[in-house]
Amino acid sequence: MTGAKLPKPPLKLVVLDRDGVINADSPDYIKSPDEWRPLAGSLGAIAQLTQAGFDIVVASNQSGVGRGLFDQKQLDAIQDKMRTAIGSRGGHLDAIYVCPHHPDDKCDCRKPKPGLLRQIETDRGISLHGVPVIGDSARDLDAARAVGAWPMLVLTGNGEATARSYPELATVDVFDDLAAAAAALIEAIRE
């Protein structure tokens, strides 16, 4: 959607939200592998980013665990299905970071708090300053801002509603979907 030429990211690393970016979201939560369905073009986008040399990390709130809607075993099975689907298209996820807490738990890892992104920084020994963080909700954009990362919004999932209400939208790169965001990032590193 954005027509502006993107700057070259400081690292070949992309952080993705899961629900609404990679797969269809649900107000009833994705509780089993059968409910996990990739969004059109998302698997190919991850494959293209992988083939362009990007490391891809997922950072996702999964409060369904804390709410008792599914357990860690089910979450692992959902993530295994996602990894397999991505791998079947030639893509690869380097890591998945999850906040399993209930919103009332007041943890520091539930986006919009930056705990998940700080954990990525710690584990990789890097700063996420300027690194693309792609999400569909204000909480994704706010978490990215909190660590100085580069917030990117996709209009899938909650993205259209976020675009209508996000107060700082003018400072966010907006794309129709993950495929469009991936294409723009790949173009940016080629120049």
Taking each helix axis from N to C end, the angle separating 115-124 and 138-146, rounded to the nearest 10 degrees, works out to 50
What is the sign of the dihedral through the CA atoms of 174, 183, 141 and 173? negative
Residue showing tokens 């690869």: 92
How many Cβ atoms from other residues are within 10 Å of residue 66's Cβ? 17
What would the two tokens of residue 48 be?
């293209």
Q: Name the catalytic one among 19, 25, 136, 177.
A: 19
Q: Name the catalytic one among 17, 136, 140, 177.
A: 17
Catalytic residue check, 17: yes
What is the sign of the dihedral through the CA atoms of 60, 66, 68 and 72? positive
Q: What are phi and psi of 139, to 5 degrees?
A: -65, -35
Inter-residue contact 33 to 77 (CB < 8 Å) = yes
- Name the strand (E) or helix (H) holding 154: strand 150-154
Please state, in angstroms and rounded to a whole number, the distance separating the CA atoms of residues 68 and 135: 25
The DSSP letter of residue 84 is H
In 3D space, the residue among 56, 32, 60 whose CA is nearest the CA of residue 42 turns out to be 56
Catalytic residue check, 19: yes
Which of the residues are catalytic? 17, 19
